[in-house]
């Protein structure tokens, strides 16, 4: 054999050898050089660390509180006498403890609503608590709520309305400098901020320093969002930013608390900024170009601010549960507004509703029936323990059941020695690998055969299926559509307490 041919043959052998190696890795979907089974490759857009922390919160609260609380309005005109802001018994500890008892993991305060009144003594405006009657102008609501949150272990976020009906310069470039100065105060003086909430409302008319006119701005260009977002990243890198289109968290498209079904965590904002037309807020888009999951914001009352006339219109525990299942249970986060009253506390009626809502949720999720079940999967990635179906029931979102790359529609059965009774199923995907499952179905073993009792599409951070009570000793979860092998971190079965 000539040397040339020898080299050629060796090269060919090498190609064949490497090719076989590559093929076997693909088939097992998981092999590494040292024999360890590798995790699946991520699919599509994946969440950032800060988004993962946000997903884990699931349920937090809004506090709408400002001059409107005292003028009985929803949108203050911006001409309010600062003296009207005068809570008679403001108690940040009470507000935070009510939120905490309800199961909220954080609170987002309207540091400034559309009226422009600042709940902290900003050095850049006179329209703030410093000119109010409250605490002789020495009070700071942002400080008190942020400290109470820290003390009780809740995260703290701020809402800073871009629309400002008080400012004379609203609509001119100087306003953007003002807005960023306010943001800087909030992001440098109050410790860690978990969320910066950018509202999308731009109603038009306002006081505007006495001009009392209608001002129209182009919301896509006027606010110069890229630079404001950049400022937030620099000052508070761990904070997520909410707006119609993210960049971290998107609006769900309504204020009823309902996420779509499906509700994908991905979206194609097309470089859109708040104020632009964005399609698919309620359901997300698949495939989307960015990971921008939805937040459902809704008030416990008809209005966002406290009105005594709405004391009898507080959402019932049943309504709050419906909202929870259609927000958190659709993979979104729930931001439930609790408006402090004129005392500066959460009203008793709201507390009563929240307590019962929490009691039902706690009782529901106290026992995961899946823990007692024997699990059998149609496939486990590389046969490895690291990806075993038991990862579905270890109460950790960091471990997951995954299959070989080629197995995209696997199933897992749960078998009990005695029949169990449940009406809620909980599923969770392992988010660092992207949203992978596109459809699934659930079957119960009934009269000697499998009978489907639920089917769904998106799972994402969490999918709660709530239906009729089922009694069975066997359940099967089928992944019916996925572009890649699934990676599921939780599957559980629960029984809601029967309503009193
Ligand atoms: C809207 C505002 O106009 C409401 O007053 C409220 O703050 C809600 C959360 O967002 O856009
Ligand atoms: Ca797990």
For 385-420, the pLDDT digits (tens) are 999 999 999 999 999 999 999 999 999 999 999 999
Domains of the chain: 5-42 (no CATH), 50-364 (3.20.20.80), 369-494 (2.60.120.260)
pLDDT at 295 over 60: yes
What's the pLDDT at 46? Answer: 98
- Establish whether residue 304 lines the binding site of ligand 1, counting it when its CB lies within 6 angstroms of any ligand atom: yes
For residue 64, the ligand 1 atom closest to its alpha carbon is: 7
Distance from Cα 199 to the centre of ligand 1, integer Å: 7
Q: What is the dihedral of CA 24, 27, 31, 32, to 10 degrees?
A: 50
For residue 75, the ligand 1 atom closest to its alpha carbon is: 5
| Residue closest by Cα to atom 11 of ligand 1 | 201
| Residue closest by Cα to atom 10 of ligand 1 | 199
3-class DSSP state for residue 118?
strand
Question: Cα dist. 322→250, 251, 333, 492 in Å?
Answer: 21, 19, 14, 19
pLDDT band at 279 (very low <50, low <70, confident <90, very high): confident
For residue 199, the ligand 1 atom closest to its alpha carbon is: 11
Task: Tell me the two tokens of residue 290.
Answer: 């960015």
For residue 161, the ligand 1 atom closest to its alpha carbon is: 7
Beta bridge partners of 412: 377, 477
CA–CA separation, 341 and 306 (whole Å): 5
DSSP-derived pairing of the beta strands 205-206 and 213-214: antiparallel
Please state the rounded mean pLDDT for residues 449-467: 98
Ligand approaching nearest to the C-alpha of 490: 2
Which of 111, 163, 199, 252 has the most ligand 1 atoms within 8 A of CB, as the residue to mutate?
Answer: 199
Distance from Cα 398 to the centre of ligand 2, integer Å: 6
Please state the rounded mean pLDDT for residues 340-347: 98
Please state the rounded mean pLDDT for residues 351-379: 98
pLDDT at 481 over 70: yes
Per mean pLDDT, which range of 8-22, 89-103, 318-332, 469-483 is the poorest? 8-22
Please state the rounded mean pLDDT for residues 263-284: 82
- Establish whether residue 199 lines the binding site of ligand 1, counting it when its CB lies within 6 angstroms of any ligand atom: yes
Ligand approaching nearest to the C-alpha of 397: 2
Question: Tell me, what DSSP letter sits at residue 66?
Answer: S
Closest CA to 300 of 373, 219, 243, 355: 355
405 against 17, higher pLDDT: 405
What's the pLDDT at 219? Answer: 86
Per mean pLDDT, which range of 17-26, 137-146, 355-364 is the poorest? 17-26
pLDDT at 277 over 90: no
pLDDT band at 498 (very low <50, low <70, confident <90, very high): confident
Distance from Cα 134 to the centre of ligand 1, integer Å: 25
Closest CA to 208 of 116, 113, 73: 116
pLDDT at 26 over 60: no
């Amino acid at each position: 054999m000539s040397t040339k041919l020898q080299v050629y043959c060796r090269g060919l052998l090498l190609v064949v050898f490497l090719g076989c190696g590559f093929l076997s890795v693909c088939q097992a979907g998981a092999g590494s050089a040292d024999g360890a089974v590798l995790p699946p490759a991520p699919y599509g857009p994946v969440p950032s660390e800060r988004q993962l922390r946000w997903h884990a919160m699931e349920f937090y609260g809004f506090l709408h509180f400002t001059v409107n609380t005292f003028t009985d309005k929803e949108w203050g005109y911006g001409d309010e006498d600062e003296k009207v802001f005068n809570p008679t018994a403001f108690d940040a500890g009470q507000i935070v403890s009510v939120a905490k008892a309800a199961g909220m993991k954080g609170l987002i305060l309207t540091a400034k609503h559309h009226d422009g009144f600042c709940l902290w003594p900003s050095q850049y405006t006179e329209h703030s608590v410093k000119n109010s009657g409250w605490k002789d102008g020495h009070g700071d609501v942002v400080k008190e709520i942020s400290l109470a949150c820290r003390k009780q272990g809740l995260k703290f976020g701020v809402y800073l309305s871009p629309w400002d009906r008080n400012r004379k310069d609203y609509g001119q470039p100087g306003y953007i400098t003002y807005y960023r100065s306010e943001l800087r105060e909030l992001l440098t003086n109050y410790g860690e901020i978990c969320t910066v909430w950018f509202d999308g409302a731009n109603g038009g008319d306002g006081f505007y320093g006495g001009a009392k006119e209608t001002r129209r701005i182009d919301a896509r260009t006027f606010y110069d969002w890229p630079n404001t977002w950049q400022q937030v990243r620099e000052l508070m890198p761990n904070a997520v930013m909410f707006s119609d289109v993210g960049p971290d968290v998107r609006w769900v498209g309504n204020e009823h608390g309902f996420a779509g079904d499906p509700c994908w965590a991905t979206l194609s904002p097309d470089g859109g900024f708040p104020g632009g037309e964005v399609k698919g807020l309620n359901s997300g888009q698949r495939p989307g170009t960015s990971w921008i999951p939805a937040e459902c914001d809704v008030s416990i009352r008809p209005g966002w601010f406290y009105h005594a006339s709405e004391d009898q219109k507080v959402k019932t525990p049943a309504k709050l549960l419906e909202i929870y299942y259609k927000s958190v249970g659709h993979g979104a986060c729930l931001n439930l507004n609790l408006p402090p009253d004129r005392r500066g506390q959460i009203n008793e009626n709201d507390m009563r509703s929240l307590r019962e809502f929490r009691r039902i949720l706690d009782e529901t999720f106290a026992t995961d029936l899946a823990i007692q079940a024997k699990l059998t999967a149609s496939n486990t990635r590389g046969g490895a323990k690291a990806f075993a179906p038991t990862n579905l029931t270890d109460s950790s979102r960091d471990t997951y059941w995954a299959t070989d790359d080629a197995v995209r529609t696997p199933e897992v059965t749960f078998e009990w020695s005695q029949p169990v009774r449940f009406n809620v199923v909980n599923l969770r995907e392992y988010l660092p690998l992207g949203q992978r499952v596109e459809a699934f179905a659930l079957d119960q073993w009934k009269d000697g055969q499998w009978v489907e009792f639920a089917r769904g599409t998106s799972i994402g951070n969490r999918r709660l299926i709530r239906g009729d009570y089922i009694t069975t000793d066997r359940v099967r979860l089928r992944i019916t559509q996925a572009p890649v092998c699934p990676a599921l971190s939780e599957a559980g079965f629960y029984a809601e307490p029967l309503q009193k």
